[in-house]
Amino acid sequence: MLLIFSIAAIAISAWLLRQNTVSRRARPTKLNLPYVQFDGDNSASRYVAETEAILSKGYAQYTSKGQPFSMRNPNDAPNPMVILPVKYLDEVRWLPEQRMSFWRHIDKQSILTQIGGPGINDEVTLAARSGMNRALVYLIEPLNEACVAACTKEIPSCPEWASVLPYPLIIKIFAGMSACAMVGPELGGLDSEWQSLSMRYVEAALSAPGVVKVSYPTWLYWMSQYTNKGVRTMWKLQTRASELLAPVLQARVAATEELKAKGQRKVKGRRNTSGAGLSMLFDLMENPEVLPDIQEEIVRVRSANPTWTRRALGELRLLDSFMRESARIHALTQYTAVQRIPTEQWTFKDELTIPAGITLAFPSFHHNLDPAIHPDPGTFDPRRHLRKREEIENTHRFHFASASTDTMNWGSGRHACPGRFFAQETLKLMLVHLLTRYEFKHADDKTGVPRFISRNMFSIPNPTLPILMRERKTAP
């Protein structure tokens, strides 16, 4: 009872304080830019499932003509956000974090610090860039073993067509591979406490902030750490993970000299690749004509290599092109990329001015579907990027993980995703395993069910859609 009174007293004081602050604070920022919104009902609830329509309208009217526009910012209402055409990208992408902040955007989107959590910052980038990427060459075999072990354990026996929900399956496969790379054998076993903690944490971290955003006013987000079950669970899981990790890290510190001597390092750092994996599986089921050639490529490359290595995975060029095409069509689940928040008013060379604190972003999804960038953009062409690679000498461009000029899926410049190489190799290992052992198809009674769902600024493959799976009778 005392606790409830204390919380109520704190909430009332915070409310009074906020009223005082709000009356002194400036009104929502007005921009001298066209504002794109829904005709008729323009309520916030419409943006949950229909944001793509606004971005599409803005792209046709403004972005495709090289002009910026503004729209509702789902992470910062009632302030607008600015959607910029690609001509502004070079001026933004290498600006230092102190000037054009990526982490402020992440914090606004995830609201982690507002609900009592630690913020995410450059440390995770450093871990991915200098640790995981360097170690990746040594990790392919253990990652493949983790993938095979997870598939063997999680995929039910299916000599005949059986209905399976693929999303939880794919999450478990990536959880197995991520644990293998990020915490190593001490904690990362299939049935380990770490494995279950990390999966429950990802689930809580993906759902709890969303629940807080719709159930609490912005100024009361902080209270959710005491009153919301999802948020409390999230922080409990994180505390337990720290307890598990502490002795392992201590042992690693002690062994650092030895690791340095061997030139090997392992780090933590992680992001969910499951949405991209499920999108690719759906795209394969919808474009089955390319499957025999992808399977032939896998068998050919595998028979020339005793084990999977980074080099061998790199030889899977058709599979790679198919993956990049899937990423082009679905923009790796995000409608916008390179979101940044200027810390002070920012003025571009052409005098376009963005006030401090206003989010700017580039429309990656619609950029991927622009006929000026990709001819015949509505056609799913699995060989599109393979042809591009064959036409140029620099083969580092246009492979799945390359942040080339024809896509903004991985971001750009200073903050371009450092985990994209890990994502590339783990996705390939998973697809290689699934495509050589199983067949997949959609069930006839699910033809009308949407394959992809729009949620705010994201487009995700439908996680509740079951598919039919069967063990292959013969090797491809």
User: CB of 275: closest distance to ligand HEM in angstroms?
Assistant: 7
Question: Given the complex with ligand HEM, which of 130 and 345 has the nearer CB atom?
Answer: 130
DSSP labels for 341-379? Answer: EESS-EE-TT--EE-TT--EEE-HHHHHT-TTTSSSTTS
Cβ-based neighbour number of residue 157 at 10 Å: 7
Question: Given the complex with ligand HEM, which of 62 and 102 has the nearer CB atom?
Answer: 102
**Residue 338 within binding range of ligand HEM, rule CB under 6 A:** yes
**Residue 146 within binding range of ligand HEM, rule CB under 6 A:** no
Rounded to the nearest 5°, which phi and psi values hold at 24? -90, -20
Among 147, 332, 360, 435, which residue interacts with ligand HEM (rule: CB under 6 A)? 332
CA distance 266 to 180: 10
User: CB of 96: closest distance to ligand HEM in angstroms?
Assistant: 11
CB 340 within 8 A of CB 334: no
Q: Taking CB under 6 A as the criterion, which residues in 96-115 touch ligand HEM?
A: 102
Cβ-based neighbour number of residue 418 at 10 Å: 21
Amino acid type, 401: A
Contacts with ligand HEM, 177-206, as mask; x by CB under 6 A: ------------------------------
**Residue 269 within binding range of ligand HEM, rule CB under 6 A:** yes
Among 95, 204, 278, 417, which residue interacts with ligand HEM (rule: CB under 6 A)? 417
Where helices occur in 75-132 by DSSP H, the ranges are 89-92, 103-110, 122-126
User: Contact region for ligand HEM (CB under 6 A) — 137-145, 265-273, 280-288, 386-394?
Assistant: 265-273
Residue 177, token pair as written in the block: 């591979």
- 417 belongs to an annotated ligand binding site: yes
**Residue 418 within binding range of ligand HEM, rule CB under 6 A:** yes
Residue 31, token pair as written in the block: 């921009």
Among 231, 241, 276, 316, which residue interacts with ligand HEM (rule: CB under 6 A)? 276
Among 88, 201, 282, 410, which residue interacts with ligand HEM (rule: CB under 6 A)? 410
User: CB of 125: closest distance to ligand HEM in angstroms?
Assistant: 4
CA distance 191 to 418: 29
Give the pairing type, strands 353-354 and 162-164.
unpaired
**Residue 323 within binding range of ligand HEM, rule CB under 6 A:** no
User: CB of 408: closest distance to ligand HEM in angstroms?
Assistant: 8
**Residue 337 within binding range of ligand HEM, rule CB under 6 A:** yes
Residues 6+ apart with CB under 8 A from 233: 200, 204, 208
Residue 182, token pair as written in the block: 């990020």
Residue 26, token pair as written in the block: 């400036």
**Residue 128 within binding range of ligand HEM, rule CB under 6 A:** yes
CA 203 to each of CA 2, 230, 235: distance values in angstroms, whole numbers, following the listed order: 32, 10, 13
**Residue 412 within binding range of ligand HEM, rule CB under 6 A:** yes
Question: Given the complex with ligand HEM, which of 122 and 296 has the nearer CB atom?
Answer: 122
Where helices occur in 103-223 by DSSP H, the ranges are 103-110, 122-126, 133-154, 166-182, 193-215
**Residue 431 within binding range of ligand HEM, rule CB under 6 A:** no
Amino acid type, 147: C
**Residue 271 within binding range of ligand HEM, rule CB under 6 A:** yes
User: Contact region for ligand HEM (CB under 6 A) — 207-215, 237-245, 408-416, 450-458?
Assistant: 408-416
What does the binding site for ligand HEM look like in residue numbers (CB under 6 A)? Answer: 102, 124-125, 128, 132, 269-271, 273, 276, 332, 337-338, 410-412, 415-420, 422-423
